[in-house]
Structure 1
Amino acid sequence: MRKLFFVLCLLVFAQAATAQLFSKERLANLETFDNRFLTWGYFLGFNSYDFKIEYKNQNTDLNTDVLITEEAGFNVGLIGDMRINKHLNLRLEPGLYYTKRDLYFPNFTEEKDFLREIKSTYIHVPLLLKVSTKRLNNIKPFLVGGVSASFNLSSNEDNPEDNFEGQFRTTTNTTYYEVGFGIDIYLYYFKFTPSIRGVFAMSDELVADDDPNSPWTGNISSLKSRGVFINFTFQ
């Protein structure tokens, strides 16, 4: 799914770049748009999350790894953009992100033991620095990076039940770093921006079971989210 997202995004970028760079049309849309100190907008998009898991004891002779499968989720949110100069912008992009991941634990025979569904609804707030190239006709490529924090509305961090009662617990608050790229496309009435970002958690999200020898969490030293966001922005 993540590879499909990446290919689709590249196709959108390539089509936009080809249309602008090789078209005979040279009329500039929204010529003064980037001179504004503050601009606003909204975004819609898709996400694909999984987990990076580190183990206390990695035994290559035994099947000890947790298998993770992810499903495509969706994003929606707002954008506030502050102009620093003609090539730098500071962006705040608060949004609501929904995603689902399934964890399959080895050495169990019954589904109630080996399967854990992780449904997450994040309030995700990134602070990003956008570095743009010179505008080329009606497009302007850019790189973006920054830090972010999320609050998981579906978290069960304070649940007294753990995996022995069928509850896999994760923390409510998580911090990340993000890197990505995109293209601003200046249309007649608004600016449209497809972008893709990689998101990587910096904090451990695992809430371990009460039993330190738990067959679910006993061998996990850290569990961190990572994901891909594809957003389509309208300003």
Structure 2
Amino acid sequence: MVNNIFKITLLCSFLVSGLSHAQLFRTKDRMDKLQEFDEQKFSWGFFLAGNNFDYKLVLDPKLGMNGRQNAVQSKGSYSFGAGLIGKMKLNNSFDLRLEPGLQFVQRELVFDTQENSEFAAGTNSIPPFMPITLTDADKKRNLKSTYLDVPLLLEFHGDRWYNSRPYAAAGVNYMANLQSNENATEDNSTGVFRSTTHNFGWSVEAGLQFYFSRFKLTPGFRGTFVMNNELVKDNADTPPYWASAISAMHSRVFMFVLKFE
């Protein structure tokens, strides 16, 4: 279902881009549209997004590795989001944009960490524990998240060429994971993976802005990278098959956005 929504969003963007090309790049009897739109100090709009969230993992050198192979893998998937746009014009080349939205996310972590049972007697850094045999359910964690994503972007745009212009933007993000389980007392011993609620990152974006008679359409691509460690460790009495195998994890997001202003 999620993949279908993403494909529909992407297909719509190509169709709109095709219509834009047909309308915006004719040279005969062409008139500039929304000529006063960019002269406004403040403007607003909304956006739709197709996203791909994944984790960049830094693994523990003992518990997170099977020889030279990673014992933990992250698998991202495609999903969607939507939000609002607020723009403040700074000058003829720069705008400040606030684009709060909700991003619906699903990821999977796979733990091939059965070999950690060899440390059951304990080491200098690993306390003794009771080894268990990992089932298929123990080895996988399906992580569903809803992010309140609030990017603040400084946008630079080129000169307008009739009814289009290129732009690039960069800025910082606050990302609240509303399904983080950060304060849960349960952990991976009962199938609950925990991560941080409040996260901070940076974003870069680029695309094209197209002007129509009644609105401005902007297809663009955005990358967002969380800077803080999102991992919440398991409880002290939990065997080191899950969170202990990871030293740090950071969300990486690649997003196609379709903005309407």
TM-score by length of 2: 0.81
Give the secondary structure class of the aligned counterpart of 2:243. coil
Instruction: Indicate conservation of the 8 Å contact 1:17/1:139, yes or no.
Output: no
**1:90–1:121 CA distance, 2 compared to 1 (3 A):** same
- How many residues align? The count is 232
Give the secondary structure class of the aligned counterpart of 2:137. helix
Query: Is 1:29 matched up with 2:54?
Result: no
Extract unaligned runs of 5+ from structure 1: none
Q: How far is the alpha carbon of 1:83 from its aligned partner?
A: 0.3
Q: Which residue of 2 aligns with 1:151?
A: 176
**Equivalent of 2:75 in 51, 69, 82:** 69
Extract unaligned runs of 5+ from structure 2: 115-133
Give the secondary structure class of the aligned counterpart of 1:27. coil
- Tell me the distance in 2 between the aligned counterparts of 1:153 and 1:191: 32
Q: Which moved more, 1:65-74 or 1:20-29?
A: 20-29
Instruction: Indicate conservation of the 8 Å contact 1:144/1:180, yes or no.
Output: yes
* Structure 2 counterpart of 1:210, one-letter code: N
**1:110–1:213 CA distance, 2 compared to 1 (3 A):** closer
Q: How far is the alpha carbon of 1:9 from its aligned partner?
A: 10
Higher strand share: 1
Q: How far is the alpha carbon of 1:61 from its aligned partner?
A: 2.7
Q: How far is the alpha carbon of 1:156 from its aligned partner?
A: 0.3
Q: Which residue of 2 aligns with 1:193?
A: 218
Q: Please tell me the root mean square deviation across aligned C-alpha atoms, in Å.
A: 2.5
Q: How far is the alpha carbon of 1:22 from its aligned partner?
A: 4.6
- Tell me the distance in 2 between the aligned counterparts of 1:70 and 1:189: 37
* Structure 2 counterpart of 1:178, one-letter code: S
Q: Which residue of 1 aligns with 2:246?
A: 220
Percent identity over paired residues: 37
Q: How far is the alpha carbon of 1:230 from its aligned partner?
A: 1.3
**1:16–1:130 CA distance, 2 compared to 1 (3 A):** farther
Tell me the alpha carbon deviations over residues 24-49 of structure 1, each in whole angstroms, 9 at most, x when there is no partner: 24211101110000001111111110
TM-score by length of 1: 0.89
- Tell me the distance in 2 between the aligned counterparts of 1:22 and 1:190: 17
- Tell me the distance in 1 between the aligned counterparts of 2:218 and 2:177: 27
Give the secondary structure class of the aligned counterpart of 2:179. coil
Q: How far is the alpha carbon of 1:213 from its aligned partner?
A: 5.9
Q: How far is the alpha carbon of 1:62 from its aligned partner?
A: 4.7
Tell me the alpha carbon deviations over residues 100-129 of structure 1, each in whole angstroms, 9 at most, x when there is no partner: 001111145522210101100011111000
**Equivalent of 2:58 in 42, 54, 59:** 54
Where do 1:57-136 residues align within 5 Å? 57=61, 59=65, 61-108=67-114, 110-136=135-161
